[in-house]
Structure 1
Amino acid sequence: MSIWRDQWGIPHVRGASLTEVARLQGWATARDRAWQLEIERLRGEGRAAELLGPAGVGWDTFARRARLEAVARESFERLDQETQEFLTAYVSGVRSGLEGASCPELDGPDGLGPAPGTWQPWTPLAVFWVQQILFGSFPSKLFSARAARVLGADAELFRTEGLTGGLSGGSNAYAVGGGRTRAGAPIVAGDPHRVFEAPNVYLQVRLACTDPDDAFDVVGMTFPGIPGVQHFAHAGQVAWGITNAMADYQDLYRVDLRSGSEVVRRSVETVLVRGQEPVEVEVLETDRGPVVLGGSDEGWGEVLRSPGHELGDLGFGALLPLLRARSVADVEAAVERWVEPVNNWVIADVAGDVVHTAGGRVPRRDEAGEWTGWVDPLPRRTASTDGSVVTANDRCMPEFDVLAAGFAPPFRAHRIAQLLDEAGPLDADHAVAVLADTTQTAGAPLLALVPVDLHPRGLAEWDGAMDGSPGAAWYAALRAEVVDRICAAPVLAPLREPSEHGPLYEPWFSLSARVASALHIILAAEKPFGLDPRALVADAAKAVRDADPEPTTWPDQHRFWPLHALEQFDLPHTRTAPATPLPGDTDTVRCNAWIPGTSVTVRGSVARYAWDLADRDNSRWVVPLGVSGDPDDPHHTDQHDTWARGGAVRVVTDWSLLTEEKTCP
């Protein structure tokens, strides 16, 4: 039993037992992503500053105060013995794989040196929460509170599809019944949208267990550092994908700390800082959760309440049931163990069943905002043989009211549904092509306000595609000008200030990003922020006409820019990832997000897949860059061009077409 590789270097693990599969997966991951594993472990432990110096103190402070490591330990202890053994075996593989693994960031001529500490059985849970804790609603609630203080009722203009929500964007997933495919079996397709990272945040893998009493064979994607496959997978007889359900499952409570009545535990932890004196961090816990902002010196605190804190459970009880799933019903049973983040799950199987369900823990709240239990049941719908289900972080059905008040705008979801209705019978390539669509529909409210005499020549022929066309370049320039002018409104001056909560929360406090996200809502208002939308757009269109009659093409001013972990900590890093021009836009199906004031995009599709239930080897998958995190490895960027074109590579599961890895333990 060993590890095999396909032409893209994707590891195919074959083991005689569940724990052997886990150990080999850990070993392969360490060989491919040593740096990523180590930096994410340190973030989960709140020890990044031990390696990175002062740049890591801000994150470490949050990690300690939010009790990331403590909840990971508690969650591990609550797991059943088999899942604990699965995690322990994976960690054993990671430890052995890290010995001698290539890691220029640590071991190269300019490397940082060995990362302190080592992997523990509970570390995968901490790594998972590092990826997810800021993925919920609480950072946006901080911005919403600030906007309400500044604007009062006008803060409602910073919304997406009609109610206060977070920044738009997210992920796409859909499934079509067998009556709409060439082979007569369902297809599940999608692409998760997150921050671009180098190396990529998702890792492709195949896991096969040959134990006759516990056989499985699954291809899918996982966060490096977490065993199994979670969010996107094809298990042979059943396949699934997810999007963020945009559920409101995190709360912040401002509490008075002067009386001491709220605090049930207080401790002081020491953050070691490379090259500097240690930093002491006050850790306060209440009955509702940890204090993540404020403290005893300030006399107040913001308490974060989340299902993970509340339950001491991060949902890892779903890992093994997902690996062993054979039907839609099996996946739904596994999803019942999911905790956070709350996701949309799109599932289909060879029997023809197609289901979209929400999974995770959403609190019920009383009038005072206190939690009184969990929402049950969560929304669920099915599709007929000739039907489909589509989710793009939107309000997919009226039943979503139990999840939250605000969701992403419906532009991507409506466009996917339209493309599916217009398509003939689908195969995997056609399913991927749907995800590559770049047609802009969110801009209609803006375009409607442009005086006809200011329309550029040829605008009538522009089909809305955010590509290299003159229409796309003009629209992008106009939108940027409009956003800048709105942000300059005097009433918004306080919102142009940096976040009072520090750099960690700055992305959620970007006024230009908030305005761009809610532009269709703002322009529909009569006098948003005291402005006249019609006059503002007309003046912006004149400025664009007078400034540059032939602006740079949209893809050239919208380049792929993945963030290495060192860059995320504002540390110097020699870039190895290509700055590829990218079509697409924030609210197009191909969701390469626009960042006002920049010529790069740092958020978009971090994977793309189309799972064919008729024949898994006709399925497709791809990630930006490639499998390896080592710039000298041939698989560092070998999938990138295919991904950048909007395509995907074929899934190969025939062992005779794979190459056995000779260095495997």
Structure 2
Amino acid sequence: MTARLFRDAYGVPHVRADTWLEVAGAQGRVTALDRGGQIQVEHWRSTGTLAEHIGAEGVPWDRFARAARLADTASRAYDALDAEDQDWVAAYVGGVNAVLPEADWPDWAPLGILHVAHVLFSDLPTLLWREHVDRALGPVLGDGAADLFQRDVSGSGSNAWALHGSRTRSGRPLLAGDPHRVIEIPGVYQQIRLAGPDGDVLGLAFPGVPGIAHFGHAGTVAWGITNAMAHHVDVFRELLRGTDAGGVEAYGPSGWEPAAVGRERIRVRAGAPADGGVGVGVGVGPGVDDAAGDRADESVDAFWVETRRGLVVAALDTLPRAGVETVAYAARIPARASADVGAAALRPLLRARSTADVVAAFGRWVDPVNRLLVADRDGTVLSQTVGRVPASSHAARRLPLDAWAEPGDEVWRPMPPAREVVETHVDANEPPEDAAVDLGYAYAAPYRASRIRTLLAELIEDRGPLDVADMPVVHGDTLSLAADALLRHLPDPSGAPLTDAAQALVTRLRRWDRRMDADSADAAVFAAWRAAVAARLSAHPALAPLHAEHGMGAVYDPWCDARGRIGDGILALVDGAAVVALGIDVRPLAREALEEVAAGEWGQADAPRWGDQHRLEPVQVLAGVPGATFVRLPPAGQSDVTLSGDSDTVRSAATTPGVSDLCWRGSVARWIWDLSDRSRSRWGVPFGAAGDPASPHATDQYAAWLEAATVPVVTAWDDLTEEPLP
């Protein structure tokens, strides 16, 4: 075996070998070593066996995983790969199993993990939420009810920007950005370098998946993505009924037709899940000590139903009885419909040398639909939309379609050609100006995109051509353009008189510089007022129907929680015509909220600052796993560690106004790719390269991440430290 493992000062693995199969095997080995517990949990999620290991808390996910046939879809996708891709994926699995023999992964396991990462990273949950809104508020708002939350996506998305060589000091292109997701411990991305016989790529990989997908630098070419916010999962309102033979029928365009159905059992571990605390990684070696506690000795029913249109994934708690009709929701997920999770794009990226190579590789991407920025050393910079989009009606982007009124066969929309970037380009999930790539329904508000464009223009005007060293100004920007949408609703002086304390807050907020800095008391006042407005709006009787049980299934609770959705959408809601149509007057709500804030601690001389309440609360990947132990982060309110930024600032550190000021979603990585010299590039993740809490690299990037900073990319092999492959 020629594979060798090196690490930099931050513990980032650099793997090289004489063949790509050996590289894949070594990547599997080092990932099992560094992220063993994490990838095991993701594998359990893909197979719908989470409850077998963590107990009853895993049952809602497992039922969804079985209904969505995640494992079967991954297996089909693996079978559809060509032989070379299959061998490459299998080599990675061989590396994982060599270090974690108890894992016993099948060859298709990495495709299952890739599918898990994306199956709900789509408009499926939001379409179901809009269906709930339509049912709840449609009697009052009519057809416009579904549009009430069209702009409530402030916490999702990513930033990416490109500078043509004419705008850089080196004369070569420069790319940068940061993806925004739920912030997890261990982190969602793995910094890694993979060098083989005809390629040398470093970037951010998904732990458990071979290769490097979303963000990579191959020396002569580099790339990064943002979510295109495209509609790519058609959802159908299905009418189902049981048959005397124990089957299920669905009502389609030609009447009743048989649906495929399966019954399964979910094993559930007995006893309460272990308390993992708060922190990073698993402390029982590279894998998970699953011998702790009792083994699974209970089970619950699970099932799946697949109609001609797709898998029934919502609103079906039990199989329908014979002759009993029930409404449920099926999803035509591209990965399932085409037996393709996009894995065929991964191996060609390792050999990419030019923008054309990267664009060609991403031509095999499936979902979610992404906006790709790619540049090469020759100076070409391209923007390309990649992924699989159904050629369905515009109505399908807004609400579920009636299954009996729509054809069941999939047709995919061709993607428009790549566009050349000649100066600068910014992607931040905003509504696109080019109609050819306007493939969605709900986009992020344009605040982040507008701010990045302004920052780049100002930097170029002030400093001339830019460099890597200029990019932290953009990554770390905390100016909230979104704040003005709410500040417009500050009580008017001509209205009812305010208390002196409330009037003082009005004066402060009108003078505030709009920066969501951790040390800003004014930012804390704004956030407190925003939260109070959101809470009052959420409690308004006109919106009470939204708080009723949505009935879509427990796995969709985060997307269908009315308090959270109102908080996310507060800036658009306060100016929306629908709110007026519901009989809601925002003015008294804003006034009452301001008086509440003025009467509290924010009206005092020693009022809290934004960083006192805005702290990180990451999601524990290993929560409930027996035997897992964690590095403890400083708990909220008990540390000097503070967090700047907000939901709609470039420096993404999102909260849910009216629910909590704690941050659990935001920048899960930051990257700067220099095409003049890869060694001048930089990257960073929230915590570190290692998942093991005993490792010095479990949290050694945390301080830099809190400052929106990055760490160096090291490319010279002589500057790395070699260690034995596990």
TM-score for both structures, normalised by structure 2: 0.84
Find the counterpart in structure 2 of residue 80 from structure 1.
82
How far 1:552 moved relative to its partner? Answer: 1.9
Q: How does 1:218-617 map to 2 (within 5 A)?
A: 218-258=201-241, 260-262=248-250, 263-275=258-270, 276-293=297-314, 294=316, 295-297=318-320, 299-300=325-326, 301-366=328-393, 368-370=405-407, 373-378=411-416, 380-384=418-422, 387-399=423-435, 402-424=438-460, 425-451=465-491, 454=503, 456=505, 457-467=507-517, 468-525=519-576, 527=580, 529-548=582-601, 549-550=603-604, 551-567=607-623, 576-579=632-635, 580-596=641-657, 597-617=659-679
TM-fit CA distance, 1:461: 4.2
State how far apart, in whole Å, the 2-side matches of 1:471 and 1:14 are: 51
**Contact 1:375–1:402 (8 Å) recurs in 2:** no
Pairwise CA distance, 1:296 = 2.3
Counterpart CA distance in 2 for 1:402 and 1:95 is: 43
The answer to whether residue 121 in structure 2 is matched with residue 135 in structure 1 is: yes
Shift of 1:261: 3.4
Find the aligned partners of 1:657 and 1:613 in 2 and give their Cα distance: 20
The 1-side partners of 2:521 and 2:369 are apart by 40
Structure 1, residues 365-407: CA drift from partner, whole Å, max 9, x if none? 15855455212133743211xx111111111223256411221
CA deviation digits over 1:257-306, x for unaligned, max 9?
21643343222112122224222212211222211231423743321111
The one-letter code matched in structure 2 to 1:469 is S
Cα 1:36–1:566 change in 2 (3 A) is: closer
Q: AA paired with 2:89? A: L
**CA distance in structure 2 between the aligned counterparts of 1:91 and 1:189, rounded to whole angstroms:** 32
Q: Structure 1 residues 528, 437: CA separation in 2 closer, same or farther (over 3 Å shift)?
A: farther
Following superposition, the deviation at residue 567 of structure 1 comes to: 3.7
**What amino acid maps onto 1:290 in structure 2?**
L
Question: Is the Cα contact below 8 Å between 1:247 and 1:342 reproduced in 2?
Answer: yes
Paired residue secondary structure (1:446)? helix
SS in 2 for 1:593: strand
CA distance in 1: counterparts of 2:583 and 2:351, whole angstroms:
58
**How many Å separate the matches in 1 of 2:511 and 2:624?**
41
Task: Label 1:272 to 1:75 Cα distance change in 2 as closer, same or farther (>3 A).
Answer: same
Is it true that 1:119 corresponds to 2:159 in the alignment?
A: no
Q: Distance in 1 between matches of 2:107 and 2:473?
A: 41
> Cα–Cα, structure 1 residues 498 and 427, in superposed 2: closer, same or farther, change >3 Å?
farther
- Tell me the distance in 2 between the aligned counterparts of 1:360 and 1:10: 30
Q: Partners in 2 of 1:415 and 1:497 — Cα distance?
A: 38
Instruction: Tell me which of the two structures has the higher relative contact order, counting C-alpha pairs closer than 8 angstroms and 6 or more residues apart.
Output: 2
Could you report, residue by residue, the CA deviation over 1:450-481 in whole angstroms, capped at 9, with x for unpaired residues?
13653525445422110121221111011011
Displacement of 1:624 after TM fit?
0.6
Q: Is the 8 A contact 1:158 1:514 kept in 2?
A: no
Equivalent pair of 2:7/2:721 in contact (CA under 8 Å) = yes
Contact residue 186 and residue 349 of structure 1 kept, 8 A? yes
| Structure 2: gaps of 5 or more residues | 243-247, 251-257, 271-296, 396-404, 494-502, 636-640
Percent identity over paired residues: 41
**Structure-1 separation of matches of 2:553 and 2:304:** 18
- How many residues are treated as equivalent by the alignment? 639
* Contact kept in structure 1, 2:160 and 2:177, CA below 8 Å: yes
1:186 aligns to 2:173 (yes or no): yes
Q: CA deviation at 1:569?
A: 9.0
Query: Aligned pair in 2 of structure 1 residues 77, 537: CA closer, same or farther (>3 Å)?
Result: same
Taking structure 1 as reference, are residues 655 and 89 closer, same or farther at Cα in structure 2, changes over 3 Å only? same
Is the 1:229–1:319 Cα contact (8 Å) retained in structure 2? yes
CA distance 1:572–1:329, shift in 2 (3 Å): closer
The alpha carbon displacement at 1:530 in A equals: 1.5
2-structure distance, mates of 1:245, 1:304: 20
CA offset at residue 522 of structure 1?
Answer: 1.7
CA distance in 2, matches of 1:632, 1:21: 27
Cα pair 2:431 2:438 within 8 Å, conserved: no
CA drift at 1:166: 5.1
Q: 1:247·1:403 contact (CA, 8 Å) conserved in 2?
A: yes
What pairs with 1:637-652 in structure 2 (closer than 5 Å)? 637-652=699-714
Is residue 5 of structure 2 the alignment partner of residue 8 of structure 1?
Answer: no
Q: Does structure 2 retain, via aligned residues, the 8 Å contact 1:170–1:243?
A: yes
Q: Deviations over 1:215-260 (max 9, x none)?
A: 1011100110001000000011111111111111112212222164
1:564/1:573 contact within 8 Å kept:
no
2:135 aligned with 1:145, yes or no? no
**1:504: how far off?**
1.5
State the Cα deviation string for residues 553-608 of structure 1 (Å, max 9, x = none): 11221111111124489999766234442111111111111123224111000000
Structure 2 distance, partners of 1:400, 1:144, is 25
TM-score, structure 1 normalization: 0.92
8 Å CA contact 2:475, 2:650 repeated in 1: yes
